[in-house]
A = this chain, B = another copy of it.
Amino acid sequence: MIRGMHPERGHYSAENCSIQAALDIVGEKWTLLVVREAFFGVRRFADFQRLLGCARNILSARLKTLVDAGILSLSPYREPGSRARYEYRLTEKGRDLYPIVVSLMQWGDRWGERPDGAPLQLTHRDCGQAVEVQLRCAADHGPLSVRDVQARAGAGAKAA
């Protein structure tokens, strides 16, 4: 894919690109940081705010974006003596963002200045070994690098 320009690139539109579609939803720093906290099990507005340290209005807007996109769902709860409030929980669509979050983390770990080592360790619950994101093919060859991968127009490609 990086051996000279893709011969077909100019023939197709980037208008319906899935990368762009994903970035339209999660391509804003605070949005993915909210998702990061949700993967840590954070569910309540006050906890998101305390951990992220972002302004209430920004947090409200990002939570709304994520609920509207079907990434977080609202689930009511009531503490004794308080009015009903809502918790935010990852949906299946939200949990499916995990490889994106882990691949960002992996790159940040590898290329950031980390003299003390990575701040977070992910391990396989069953065997305790380190977890990473890899490229694999359906015949289970891998891990693959970009040089092993061929890109071509799919069924949903649109002419430029």
Partner-B contacts on A (CB < 8 A): 1-6, 9-10, 12, 14, 16-24, 26-29, 32-33, 36-43, 47, 50-52, 70, 90, 93, 95-112, 114-127, 129-139, 141, 143-158
Contact = CB atoms under 8 A, between A and B. Distances in A.
Copies per assembly: 2
Nearest to A17: B119
Given A101-B19, A103-B133, A153 B110 contact: no
A127 B85 CA distance: 53
Given A2-B39, A42-B9, A154-B117, A98 B146 contact: yes
**Chain A residues touching B, majority SS:** mixed
A123 to B, nearest CB: 5
A124 B105 contact: no
Contact of A132 (B122, B123, B135, B147): B135
Given A130-B138, A131-B135, 8 more contacts: A1-B39, A5-B47, A18-B105, A22-B112, A95-B145, A97-B107, A118-B155, A119-B154
A49 to B, nearest CB: 13
B18 A109 contact: yes
Contact of A124 (B40, B129, B149): B149
A133 B131 contact: no
